[in-house]
Amino acid sequence: MKLEIKDLKAQIDGTPILNGVDLTVEEGRIHALMGPNGSGKSTLANVLFGHPSYEVTGGEVLVDGQNILEMETHERAQLGLFLAFQYPVEVPGVTVGRFLKRASEIVRGEDQVKGAGFIKELRKNLEFMGMDQGFINRYLNDGFSGGEKKRMEILQMLTLKPRFAVLDETDSGLDIDALRIVANGLNRMRGPEFGAVVITHYQRILDYIKPDYVHIMYGGRIITSGGKELVETLEAQGYEWLRKEYGIELDEEEEAAYEHGSEAR
Amino acid sequence: MSTVDVERNQEYNATEDLDRLVGEMQEVEWAGKLRREALAYFSKKGWPTREEEEWRRTDVSSYDFSDYSLTCAPEEGAPPAVEVPEESAGVVRFESGRCVGLGLSEELSGRGVYFGSLQHLLGTGRSAPEAERVHQKVEKAWRAGFARADNRFQAWNLAGFTHGVVLHIPSGVRIEEPIYIDFYESGDQRVSIPRVAMILEQGAEATVVQAIRGAEEGEVIYNESVDIHVGQNAHLRYLTMQNLNLDASFFGFGSGSIAKDGSLQHYICSFGGMLAKNRFDCTLDGEGSLVRLNGLYFPYEDQHMDLRTVQHHRAPHAESRTYYKGAQRDEAHSVYQGLIEVAHEAVQTDAFLENKNIILNDGARADSIPTLNIETDDVQCSHGSSTGKIDRTQLFYLKARGYPPAEAEEMLLQGFFEDIIHHAPERLQDELRGLIRARVLAAYESDDDSEDE
């Protein structure tokens, strides 16, 4: 699967957020997308999945040459796209098992999802994610802690087996153990038929994921791209370097978080 | 078999018809007496009007009740015995007012549980001698219920009931499997008037599941009365599901009294009727009693549903929880009115009432009116009400996992109602989920353009 984002522009309530994003992701590759708050990272993720609050004002998104902006959200998912939500939604009354079984039938095909086999697979995935088996019968995300919700997103990804995933700040708010588990989840998906964009604020998850490419987003555009060396430069010189190089301004909270992140390593 | 028919298009002459009815039924004296008392009330009380608060949003003035015939088929001897199905303790089935089968597990009859058809119980010389002791209890429960009656439907029921069932559970008998009560209505321009009485003595326990279903077409007025008495430290779970056709009208009035440390878990699932009026009025008579009233309603097309609950606290340290949930679609209109009433002596009452509605499209409507009437300071009482649309973030989340819009909406509604549905026995759960599914999908089938986004 090849995902091509071409000159994508989008707005919310008349305010432009994406101002011409260009990005191509080939299968078998993991891309990291970094950048400060408000740079448009999460908007990009939401627009890729057709979130109703955003209006696309230009450009196109091609999956194997087909423009998915014309498609409904569920059709994009059925194509094999997966979004790990920054803020996973609570769905009271719907158990994890029931939700994922039906979702798997829809995206993988009913013949691929058989009762006993499916539950066995789900149990294995829970174990892999370090989650209690009791989660199968809990209502989806209802009363879950922040970390549990993030693990649940990755569990869903492992179970639904998408061809392409966007992880929207799945690492934020996680302690180091949870972070490692989430990264392991993504690494397990890794292979010649899987591509991903990992949206993150911080470099630390990239120590575990080792992306093939790194992009920095600012002002609704991707302003620079590179390989692992870009993370290394960031790590060594910080966003201060980006400020000098590209005029990126961070808010106080981000600066503090970044400083903290640098010191922690 | 003889029948008593009130001819169609003839003025409903209640007195004359009831005289004939009582004569045909050959009932025990007290029942006839109670019928006549109810008839006196019926005669002096008009049909409810919109002047009355409870009926302000539910208009019955367009009904000409004389257009409907009351038919009664007196039973000859005991109702046909049927085998008790697996995973149940007893079963009774009525078809258009006639008892077509009744069964109770031998073990329970052996332990003194009475489960019988009303006609059989009340008919002179027809009921078994051991049923005689039940009479007094039933009369007491009915008189208590009638004392709280305030409208003509209730009087109509007590004066003119033609069939029904009585469950009496002696002290200390605990019934694990559910008992099923099925009403099936067919025909046209008919009135069906059943009564249900459930009396649990001290320490008794039971689960009763009642279903009211009917033919796909035909105008039937179904006017039901349910009386419940839960004795000291006794526990009753009672779940009732109503799915009559959309030509039918449903009127259901229930009352319950709960003694010390007893509990009642009550569930109403309302789907049918062009008009469906429900009221469950519950009195916490004993210290430490516990009541949970749960409701699920989902009107669509041009249905009108009106549900009312009353949590009436008369004893100290009692707890009550009401939780009613509705969804409205198309041009449907629902009214929920909930009242928490705490008497002066009911100190340390803990009462709560919540009503939630999801309106699925413009044009549908939900009125929600919770009320408190508290005559003592030493209580903990609260109520809440929310009415909104389907949550867009939830919808997006499900769609992002591949769920098409109709299925996403269905899953969310199933989830919304799940905390009520999961209390039902499994086979009824499937039926309830099927009804919810059908109502969600109907909108998508009738108008493909209505899909979100």
CATH assignment at residue A41: 3.40.50.300
- Per-residue pLDDT at B68 exceeds 80: no
Using an 8 Å CB-CB cutoff, list chain A residues near B415.
Answer: 91-94, 139
Question: What is the share, in percent, of chain A residues with pLDDT greater than 70?
Answer: 94
pLDDT at B22: 65
CA distance B329 to chain A (A): 20
Give the integer Cα–Cα distance in Å for B122 and A71: 67
Neighbours of B191 (CB within 10 A): 23
Tell me the mean pLDDT in the region A208-232. 91
How would you classify the pairing of strands A195-200 and A164-168?
parallel
* CA proximity to B257, closest of B116, B369, B143: B143
φ/ψ of residue A181, rounded to 5: -65, -45
Report chain B's terminal Cα–Cα distance, integer Å: 61
Measure Cα distances from B34 to B124, B144, B149, B161 in Å: 15, 12, 13, 11
Mean pLDDT of chain A: 91
Question: What is the share, in percent, of chain A residues with pLDDT greater than 90?
Answer: 74
DSSP helix, strand, coil percent of chain A (3-state; round to 5): 45, 30, 25
- Per-residue pLDDT at B27 exceeds 50: yes
How would you classify the pairing of strands B249-258 and B275-284?
parallel
* CA proximity to B254, closest of B230, B235, B234: B230
- Per-residue pLDDT at A265 exceeds 60: no
Q: Is residue A177 in a domain?
A: yes
Tell me the mean pLDDT in the region B312-327. 97
Q: Which residue has the tokens 């939830």?
A: B394
Q: Is residue A253 in a domain?
A: yes
Give the integer Cα–Cα distance in Å for A116 and A95: 17
H-run or E-run covering A85? none
pLDDT at A259: 55
Question: B76 or B190: which carries more pLDDT confidence?
Answer: B190
Question: What is the share, in percent, of chain B residues with pLDDT greater than 70?
Answer: 91
* CA proximity to A75, closest of B400, B393, B395, B445: B400
CB contact A103 to B (< 8 Å): yes
Q: Which residue has the tokens 């919700």?
A: A149
Give the integer Cα–Cα distance in Å for B58 and A11: 47
Our measurement of the distance from residue A190's CA atom to the centroid of its chain's CA atoms, rounded to an integer in Å, reads 14
Question: Cβ separation of B405 and A102 shorter than 8 Å?
Answer: no
The pLDDT tens digits of the residues spanning A111-130 come to 888 878 999 999 999 999 99
Give the pLDDT band of residue A152 (cuts 50, 70, 90). very high
Give the pLDDT band of residue B11 (cuts 50, 70, 90). very low
The pLDDT tens digits of the residues spanning B246-256 come to 999 999 999 99
Tell me the mean pLDDT in the region B55-77. 81
Report chain A's terminal Cα–Cα distance, integer Å: 36
- Per-residue pLDDT at B14 exceeds 80: no
Question: Cβ separation of B401 and A107 shorter than 8 Å?
Answer: yes
Question: Cβ separation of B396 and A107 shorter than 8 Å?
Answer: no
Which of A63-67, A154-158, B15-19, B73-77 bottoms out in mean pLDDT, i.e. has the lowest?
A: B15-19
H-run or E-run covering A121? helix A115-128
User: Structure tokens of B128?
Assistant: 């078994």
Using an 8 Å CB-CB cutoff, list chain A residues near B394.
Answer: 89-91
The pLDDT tens digits of the residues spanning B118-130 come to 988 888 765 566 6
pLDDT at B5: 47
Give the integer Cα–Cα distance in Å for A79 and A81: 6
Q: Is residue A110 in a domain?
A: no
- Per-residue pLDDT at B39 exceeds 90: no
CA distance A118 to chain B (A): 17
- Per-residue pLDDT at B417 exceeds 70: yes
Indicate the SS3 state at residue B231.
Answer: coil
Q: Is residue A195 in a domain?
A: yes
Which of A195-209, B320-334, B367-381, B437-451 bottoms out in mean pLDDT, i.e. has the lowest?
A: B437-451
* CA proximity to B25, closest of B161, B128, B153: B161
Give the pLDDT band of residue A238 (cuts 50, 70, 90). confident
**Containing structural domain, residue A196:** 2-90+161-264
pLDDT at B7: 40
Give the pLDDT band of residue B318 (cuts 50, 70, 90). very high
Q: Is residue A206 in a domain?
A: yes
A–B interface: beta-carbon pairs under 8 A = 80
Q: How many distinct structural domains can be found in chain A? A: 1
CA distance B256 to chain A (A): 29
Give the pLDDT band of residue A261 (cuts 50, 70, 90). very low
Q: Is residue A96 in a domain?
A: no
pLDDT at A262: 44
Q: Which residues pair with B190 in a beta bridge?
A: B69, B220
pLDDT at A233: 82
DSSP helix, strand, coil percent of chain B (3-state; round to 5): 25, 40, 35
Q: Which residues pair with B443 in a beta bridge?
A: none
- Residue A100's closest chain B neighbor by CA? B401
- Per-residue pLDDT at B109 exceeds 90: yes
CB contact A106 to B (< 8 Å): yes
Using an 8 Å CB-CB cutoff, list chain A residues near B418.
Answer: 92-94, 139
Looking at residue B449, its amino acid is: D
- Per-residue pLDDT at B75 exceeds 90: no
pLDDT at B173: 98
Domain boundaries, chain B: 4-286, 406-453
Question: What is the share, in percent, of chain B residues with pLDDT greater than 90?
Answer: 77
**Residue from A73, A108, A139 to probe the interface with B (highest B Cβ count within 10 Å):** A73
pLDDT at B447: 59
pLDDT at B127: 57
The pLDDT tens digits of the residues spanning A70-115 come to 999 999 999 999 999 999 999 999 999 999 999 999 999 988 888 7
pLDDT at A257: 57
Q: Is residue A11 in a domain?
A: yes
Q: Which residues pair with B167 in a beta bridge?
A: B115, B198
Mean pLDDT of chain B: 91
- Residue B420's closest chain A neighbor by CA? A93
Q: Is residue A51 in a domain?
A: yes
Give the list of residues 6+ apart from residue B84 with CB closer than 8 angstroms, or none: B90, B91, B103, B104, B105
Kindly give the interhelix angle for B426-446 and B405-421, rounded to the nearest 10 degrees: 150
Give the list of residues 6+ apart from residue B435 with CB closer than 8 angstroms, or none: B243, B271, B298
φ/ψ of residue B191, rounded to 5: -115, 135
Tell me the mean pLDDT in the region B158-168. 94
CB contact A107 to B (< 8 Å): yes
Measure Cα distances from B263 to B63, B145, B215, B281, B320 in Å: 38, 18, 35, 15, 10
